[in-house]
A = this chain, B = another copy of it.
Amino acid sequence: MNPDWSARRDLSINQATVPRWSASEVIEGCARAGYAGVGLWRDRVQAEGPGLLAKRARTLGVEVTSLCRGGFFLAPTTEGTKARIEDNLRAVDEAAELGAAVLALVCGPAPGRDLAGARQAVAAAIAELAAYAATAGIALGIEPLHPLYCGDRSVVVTLPQALHMARCAGKGTVGLVLDSYHLWWDPELERNISQAASAVLLVQLADWLAPPPDPLNGRGMLGDGCIDLRAFCRTVRSAGYAGKFEVEIFNPEVWALDPADTLEVVALRYEEHAR
């Protein structure tokens, strides 16, 4: 075990990296490993109750850096879309009870081929949700996903696009979640991050494996891929980001590890490749 735990004060672990743990186990595991925060998922939070988890996190001094996730606003029917927006209101309630710093939004695919129309509809849905979130005191984080996901998970796929949406939706309440995995390819990344600086609510880390072994669950452990994570972290820090780095790795090989070991590996890799 690494005797210097100071790096771990920069880190949060997203539950998707250690799915074998329940939400309370993630909180406890992070406290034991010296991590500053956790990112939790709605289904796992619902299973134990957001109030109980909020208390556990407070007691152990672990910050809930995100609740994952809201979004997926658009359904093929108007009723379907209405139900999804209703579900997003419940996500805001859960984030508030949990004391999560950010509700991360994955801005769903287009129901048909009208990508521009879907983008407008997503912007409208976020504006509606923002009003409710403001009342609940919850920050919404639009997460631009890798363009790989444009067809099935998110019509928001670039940082400038997400920033524009956040600014239109409501200053202060709506910001951004930036993930190295989703953004590293951008030839204008440094400039785009610097322009988004004040809107960045959370930064997530994962590496890009080349070629990607799986579109959904092929994200890489820090240092296993081709992203210059140190430059990425330096860029967001230089832009003024003072929050945690939440590590979110969807990968069966990572999931096969003992979750406590995963936390050790992530901390070591963060020091070696990103800090």
Using a CB–CB distance below 8 Å, which chain A residues touch chain B? 109-110, 112-115, 119, 146-148, 150-152, 157-158, 160-161, 184-187, 208-212, 215-216, 225-228
Contact = CB atoms under 8 A, between A and B. Distances in A.
A211 B114 contact: no
A184 B115 contact: yes
Contact of A113 (B113, B186, B226): B226
Contact of A147 (B112, B115, B146): B146
Contacts of A119: 187
B114 A208 contact: no
A212 B209 contact: no
Contact of A148 (B148, B158, B161): B148
Nearest to A187: B161
A215 B212 contact: yes
17 contacts: A109-B226, A113-B226, A113-B227, A114-B228, A119-B187, A146-B147, A147-B147, A147-B148, A147-B186, A148-B148, A148-B212, A150-B185, A151-B209, A152-B210, A157-B185, A158-B187, A212-B215
A147 B227 contact: no
A109 B148 CA distance: 17
A208 to B, nearest CB: 5
A208 B113 contact: no
Contacts of A115: 184-185, 228
A215 B158 CA distance: 20
B185 A225 contact: no
A235 to B, nearest CB: 11
Given A151-B225, A152-B210, 13 more contacts: A109-B210, A110-B226, A114-B228, A115-B228, A119-B187, A151-B208, A151-B209, A151-B210, A151-B212, A157-B187, A160-B187, A161-B187, A211-B215
A228 B147 CA distance: 16
Nearest to A119: B187
Nearest to A145: B185
A119 B211 CA distance: 19
Contacts of A208: 150-151
A119 to B, nearest CB: 7
A211 B152 contact: yes
Nearest to A161: B187
